[in-house]
Amino acid sequence: MRVALLQEVSNVRVTVLAPCRLTDLRTGVLVKEWQSLKWQLVEASPQGLKVGPVQTGLQAVLLQTGSNDILRINARPYRGSLIFLRTPNGRLTIVNRLGLEEYLVGALSSEVGTDWPLETLKAHAVVSRTMVAHRIWIQRERPFDVTDDTSTHVYHGVVAESAETLAAVRQTEGQVLAYAGELISAAFHASCGGHTEDASELWKTKTDVPPLQGRPDPYCRDLRHYRWQTGMSLKAFAELLGAVGKEIGMPTACEVSDRNRSGRVRTVRLQGDRGVKELSGRDFRQLLGANRLKSLNFTVTFSRGISFSGFGWGHGVGLCQWGAYGMAKQGHTADEILQFYFPGAERRKLQGLPGFP
């Protein structure tokens, strides 16, 4: 799989303390071999990619080393190999190519505590593997499958690996969630706040896939991120709206005008002394900041200031991390956790599913 580590940068430093070889990514033709590379500059010049003193004249190159050796980008260690791409803007994008299982060991520990129950970690490993495999399946034409940030998993390479995540990945090796013979678009979030969300509320997917439908969740109740509150002055709120071209003057009212099946906010109606605006819940959350308005399951109180009181953290689709923690603490297995959050999903090997011959 391919993880974009840096995009559209001017240059990076690469270090490999082992024999390594540089090839043309497209043809596989050897460009140069080294016994080791120390803090060499990689940059995108008008003539093509330049790696250390070597002007390759190429737009895409692959740097490989032995299977257990480490490659460093700006001192941060990674497994696998590195792809350097010269972008249409004449900049540099760096992609880490490695096995899905190796990736998961590092990616998983950024998402959950390594002191969490093993059954939770195992369930999460299956969900994460499914999510990434689904991306690989639907995005084959892109130069990479995922980025290294929260849009899938925060991924910091070797430094993030742990014995606990290694055990969870090994004990579920190759296992994914499928329905009707296809990978499902699995997802996860910190806490659903009492009810998970239909996947179709977030992205285009069939609405009649049982494992992707939201349901009441008693397991995250009163655990971390279950409840939250936030607020601001009316002046600060007006300024925030003005900054994105939604001026309503001094706010006089703010109310939820529509909620979906799971209770999450679909639309917010804002009234001020100079106009009225309607915003979708998602736009409203983005406007206030996804880490301030932690979920769309909230109520508004409007008086001298504006305050919000809500449940859960994140979009609410798929696995509720704190609910999965709660389930394992009550003695449930990884299988039971997966069946609860993805009812009717089949746990099977990735190999053999469409896109993974």
Least Å distance between CB 189 and Zn ion? 8
Least Å distance between CB 316 and Zn ion? 8
Options 214, 251, 272, 323; binder of Zn ion; rule CB under 5 A? 323
Options 127, 146, 220, 300; binder of Zn ion; rule CB under 5 A? 220
**37 belongs to the binding site for Zn ion (CB under 5 A):** no
* Owner of token pair 């089949």: 346
Least Å distance between CB 312 and Zn ion? 7
Binding string to Zn ion for residues 268 to 307, with x set by CB under 5 A, is what?
----------------------------------------
Q: How far lies 155's CA from each of 2, 104, 213, 284, in Å?
A: 12, 9, 28, 28
243's tokens: 């900054």
Options 320, 324, 334, 338; binder of Zn ion; rule CB under 5 A? 320
Compare residues 3 and 192 and give the one whose CB is closer to Zn ion: 192
337's tokens: 């956790």
Backbone φ, ψ for residue 185 (5° rounding): -85, 75
Q: Binders of Zn ion: how many residues, by CB under 5 A?
A: 5
Q: How far lies 102's CA from each of 11, 145, 171, 200, in Å?
A: 26, 15, 13, 31
Least Å distance between CB 227 and Zn ion? 12
Question: CA-CA distance, 337 to 108, in Å (whole number)?
Answer: 17
Question: CA-CA distance, 158 to 66, in Å (whole number)?
Answer: 16
Options 119, 164, 201, 217; binder of Zn ion; rule CB under 5 A? 217
Question: CA-CA distance, 229 to 313, in Å (whole number)?
Answer: 11
Question: CA-CA distance, 153 to 109, in Å (whole number)?
Answer: 9
Cβ neighbours around 221 below 10 Å, total:
15
Least Å distance between CB 220 and Zn ion? 3
Question: CA-CA distance, 248 to 276, in Å (whole number)?
Answer: 6
The Cα angle at residue 156 between residues 153 and 162, in degrees rounded to 5: 90
The stretch among 166-174, 181-189, 233-241, 313-321 that binds Zn ion (CB under 5 A) is: 313-321
Cβ neighbours around 227 below 10 Å, total:
16
The stretch among 41-49, 153-161, 214-222, 276-284 that binds Zn ion (CB under 5 A) is: 214-222
Binding string to Zn ion for residues 155 to 194, with x set by CB under 5 A, is what?
-------------------------------------x--
Least Å distance between CB 219 and Zn ion? 6
The stretch among 81-89, 133-141, 203-211, 218-226 that binds Zn ion (CB under 5 A) is: 218-226
Compare residues 102 and 217 and give the one whose CB is closer to Zn ion: 217
Interface ranges with Zn ion (CB under 5 A): 192, 217, 220, 320, 323
